[in-house]
Structure 1
Amino acid sequence: MQSLIGTGVALVTPFKKDFSVDVEALKRIVNYQIDNGINYLVVLGTTGEPATLKKEEKELVIQTIIEANNGRLPLVLGVGGNNTAEVVEELKTRDFASFSAILSVSPYYNKPTQEGIYQHFKAIAEASPLPVILYNVPGRTGSNVLPSTVIRLANDFKNVVAIKEAAGDMVQAMKIIQHKPKDFLVISGDDMVTLPMVLAGGAGVISVIAEGFPEQFSEMVRLGLERKVDQAYEIHYQIADAIDMIFEQGNPAGVKEIFKTLGLSENTVRLPLVNVNEDLSKRVKDFVAKTVN
């Protein structure tokens, strides 16, 4: 899965002021990523607000991105949930012709044991026609996929090819990197520790901040993969304040504020999310003004 090395972005779903999906804005955002060095696109991850999209809206988003991308970059589709049978059913019935892999989040809310998490992903691996990227994000799911469970899945299923690791724990990430099968990829799911994780042996990132600053962040990851440490950290510290800002009042409200400033889309989010306040909006605009040429 060499196509998953580097910088992927978790695409937002832009909305018009009336909260309908803004197809033209989504096309602009896709082209903005492609034109500025992103390596692959993730469709309907958490940042895409799928929890508030109707079924037909999800299909609209998927088809819009497929058409806008036009085969230029690999596409990864978010297919996950806390109802294992429902996820398996989608894997068996969906057309995945345009996609290279799926990203599947660990079950949220149910708080399964490690054995329950293993059995959930076992069912997904056995049903999936595509390579599977595990997604560990304890801050959202309420449970942590331990390194031992990740390694067990990676060894037992050849199509479990990577993990998006977003526990925010470098020691945990390094344990996975240390014990993983040779070709298994450890992908950062936390923008702030992306560079340290890459330097420790990670494969790159599935990022939110890279969506707003694709040229800078993807260059940082490339430099990190090339072990050009000082140059990579120079970019990291240029972007670090923006990473804090875009998550300060929730994702994707922060990155949508960047897109509004860039003229790519409105900053509209759907309840229960709300827009960032005026203070953060001004700080984001000021940062964009001094960072984007």
Structure 2
Amino acid sequence: MSFRDQLRGTGVALVTPFKDNMEIDYPALERVIDFVVDNDVEYVITLGTTGETPTLSKEEKIELILFTYEKVADRVPVVVGIGGNNTLSLIKDLETFPLQRAAAVLSASPYYNKPSQEGIYQHYKALAEVSPKPIILYNVPGRTGRNMTAATTLRLAHDFKNIIGIKEASGDMAQSMQILKDKPADFLVVSGDDNLAMPQIACGMDGVISVAANCLPKQFSEMVRLSLKGNFAAAKLLNDQMLEAYDLLFAENNPAGVKAFMTELNLLENNLRLPVVPLSEGLHASVKNYLQRLG
């Protein structure tokens, strides 16, 4: 099975639950993993931005990778997030993190440094040359401060066999369509924007790496599967039910929104590490009201 087939559908960027003392809540994480896998997501991502990775120590990251492998227990593929703005440090992580059981690595484009397109290319080139696992690029300019253009994505896709795909979260439909038009045939292209996943699949994307699938895994992954089958009438009915949820999830901060949802679902405690804080009281009430109406 090709990587494009293996990672087609819905991947969920797992949250990291915390106890009141801000230690990682592993029993809650096990509940979350079982919840999303039992509700039919196609794969999971550990150490994505939704997992609050900027506030995790290297030791915690390694523990989370190993715990995720153990609790997923080969039911679905596991993708590991290894991204950042220090290329040399990431090379060491790729060489030392426990990646043997990972299907692939998801690597966000460098943030804050604001490199040129050539700098972004050279960054990923350096990672591709040492990575023991295939790399999925991650373009998220809203977080990084720098868009990775379609031309840079396509250059990387054609130049490196172990760069196998991209999570495209620019929100730019024209850029997405340019990538889809000129990519290698087996290059995976998934959405990084839950609210655009359905129309982007209509344009040819292979699925989505989702935040919403943490709290609405059954509805969201079914919407994606229906879209991939071309049944957009049925997919739209499900997507319409989730439009309000997409707004609530990202109204203030990710993962503050999704953790509010998951608190109401009794999956975890509503704790986030600073500088991220829980959803404001009014928005949390809206989350609760939405879930009651959804039933």
What is residue 238 of structure 1 aligned with on the other side?
A: 241
Amino acid at match of 2:175: Q
**Structure 2 SS opposite 1:172:** helix
Residue 58 of structure 1 and its aligned partner are, at CA, apart by 1.6
1:23-34, aligned counterparts within 5 Å? 23-34=26-37
1:5-84, aligned counterparts within 5 Å? 5-84=8-87
Residue 31 of structure 1 and its aligned partner are, at CA, apart by 0.2
Identity rate, percent: 51
Q: Give the distance between the partners of 1:27 and 1:93, measured in 2 at CA.
A: 25
Q: Give the distance between the partners of 1:110 and 1:49, measured in 2 at CA.
A: 20
Q: TM-score, normalised by structure 2?
A: 0.97
Amino acid at match of 1:15: F
Amino acid at match of 1:25: A
Q: Give the distance between the partners of 2:97 and 2:272, measured in 1 at CA.
A: 27
Residue by residue, what CA displacement relative to the aligned partner does 1:194-249 show, whole Å, maximum 9, x if unpaired? 00111100000000011110000000000000000111111111101101101101
Q: Give the distance between the partners of 2:267 and 2:142, measured in 1 at CA.
A: 29
1:99-114, aligned counterparts within 5 Å? 99-114=102-117
Query: In the alignment, is residue 275 of structure 1 matched against residue 264 of structure 2?
Result: no
Residue by residue, what CA displacement relative to the aligned partner does 1:260-286 show, whole Å, maximum 9, x if unpaired? 101110111011001111111111011
What is residue 90 of structure 1 aligned with on the other side?
A: 93
Residue by residue, what CA displacement relative to the aligned partner does 1:89-136 show, whole Å, maximum 9, x if unpaired? 111222211100000010111111111100000111111111100000
Q: Give the distance between the partners of 1:109 and 1:229, measured in 2 at CA.
A: 38
Match of 1:205 among 208, 223, 226: 208
**Structure 2 SS opposite 1:127:** coil
What is residue 218 of structure 1 aligned with on the other side?
A: 221
What is residue 266 of structure 2 aligned with on the other side?
A: 263
**Structure 2 SS opposite 1:76:** strand
Amino acid at match of 2:229: E
Q: TM-score, normalised by structure 1?
A: 0.98
Which contiguous aligned blocks of 4+ residues in structure 1 show a shift greater than 3 angstroms? none
Gaps (5+ residues) in structure 1? none
**What RMSD, in angstroms, separates the aligned Cα atoms of the two structures?**
0.9
Amino acid at match of 1:257: A
**Structure 1 SS opposite 2:129:** helix
Residue by residue, what CA displacement relative to the aligned partner does 1:128-184 show, whole Å, maximum 9, x if unpaired? 111100000001101010001111100000111110000011111011001101111
Q: Give the distance between the partners of 1:126 and 1:289, measured in 2 at CA.
A: 50
Q: Give the distance between the partners of 1:93 and 1:273, measured in 2 at CA.
A: 29
Q: Give the distance between the partners of 1:110 and 1:41, measured in 2 at CA.
A: 29
- The answer to whether the Cα contact below 8 Å between 2:66 and 2:98 also exists between their aligned partners in 1 is no
**Structure 2 SS opposite 1:68:** helix
Q: Give the distance between the partners of 1:177 and 1:213, measured in 2 at CA.
A: 28
Q: Give the distance between the partners of 2:62 and 2:293, measured in 1 at CA.
A: 37
Query: In the alignment, is residue 169 of structure 1 matched against residue 172 of structure 2?
Result: yes
Gaps (5+ residues) in structure 2? none
Residue 20 of structure 1 and its aligned partner are, at CA, apart by 1.1
**Structure 2 SS opposite 1:227:** coil
Q: Give the distance between the partners of 2:283 and 2:174, measured in 1 at CA.
A: 32
Query: In the alignment, is residue 128 of structure 1 matched against residue 131 of structure 2?
Result: yes
Match of 1:151 among 149, 154, 158: 154
Q: Give the distance between the partners of 1:154 and 1:204, measured in 2 at CA.
A: 18
| More off after superposition, 281-290 vs 179-188 | 281-290
Q: Give the distance between the partners of 1:254 and 1:188, measured in 2 at CA.
A: 19
